[in-house]
Amino acid sequence: MGRLLFLILFSVKCFGQVSSDSLPSFAIKYNPVPLFLEVDKHLQMSFEYFIDAKRSAQFTFGFGNKAIFKKEEYNVVYMARLEYRKFSKPFSSKKNGRNYWATELMYKHVEEPFSPVTAPTDILGYTQPPYFTKFFVNVLASHIKIGREYIDMQYFPAFDIFLGLGVRAYHNYIGYTPPGYSRGFDGSMFGRTSGTGVFPSAVVGVGIGIGKWKRK
């Protein structure tokens, strides 16, 4: 597998030449940061399309579940991010690394297992079996970001690093609980509580992948 990857990258470097009057076309990147800094670990991929030499739009999708992360406590997590970027100067064949600022909207949905603490007893005094439900987490956030992106003219590597600040709103709730069952506490295993709220937000990430250039 390692030899195959090396041959692919070597071929791209040798035969994937582009002209000196080219501009970025698109980039596909993987962000490893959610594996280390996020409460809800997930895989995260981005697709960036360059509108012109100074502007781009990017869509990011994240996903994780018990099959991928067996030790995680959640059942599933989804994340989507839509972003508009404006670069400080136009990309060119001589300057393929640029600073940028960006605005983004982000949505995340998480489902955690949740079991009521106290089960009711029947008329004979026997305790009913536990009923397992879910704790739902929904987050909507907006950030203003600054970063720097580099896209090699020979496809690899594309590299992106960013930091952003903003605000996020959440709406969390516990799924259906049968009558008679006591929830015990109104929160999740990660300390999240039911209800809605708004609070400051920060985002940081690194993108690593490939990019393609096109003629002007």
35 pLDDT tier (thresholds 50, 70, 90): very high
User: What is the gyration radius of the CA atoms in the chain, in angstroms?
Assistant: 23
Which pLDDT score, from 0 to 100, does residue 17 have? Answer: 47
φ/ψ of residue 158, rounded to 5: -110, 130
In order of 31, 80, 90, 198, the CA distances from 159 in angstroms are 10, 20, 17, 32
Give the burial class of 187: count Cβ atoms within 10 A of its Cβ; 0-12 exposed, 13-18 middle, 19 or more buried.
Answer: middle
φ/ψ of residue 6, rounded to 5: -60, -45
Q: State both tokens at 39.
A: 């409460």
Q: Identify residue 78 by its one-letter amino acid code.
A: Y
Instruction: Give the whole-angstrom CA distance, residue 130 versus residue 128.
Output: 6
Instruction: Give the whole-angstrom CA distance, residue 107 versus residue 142.
Output: 9
Q: Which domains does the chain have, with CATH numbers?
A: 24-111+138-169+190-215 (2.40.160.20)
**77-109 residue pLDDT tens:** 999 999 999 999 998 878 889 999 999 999 999
Measure the CA angle with vertex 32, ends 172 and 138; round to 5°: 10
> Bigger pLDDT: 105 or 38?
105
Q: Which residues contact 146 (CB under 8 A, 6 or more apart)?
A: 99, 100, 101, 102, 162, 163, 164
Q: Which of 141, 148, 134, 152 is closest to 188 using CA atoms?
A: 134
pLDDT for residue 11 is more than 50: no
Q: State both tokens at 130.
A: 């536990």
Average pLDDT over residues 168-176: 91
Which residue is it, tokens 């996903």?
63
The percentage of the chain sitting over the pLDDT mark of 70, rounded to a whole number, equals 81
CB 112 within 8 A of CB 161: no
pLDDT for residue 156 is more than 70: yes
Q: Which of 79, 192, 75, 199 is closest to 133 using CA atoms?
A: 75
User: What rounded mean pLDDT belongs to the chain?
Assistant: 84
**175-215 residue pLDDT tens:** 888 777 776 666 666 678 889 999 999 999 999 999 998 87
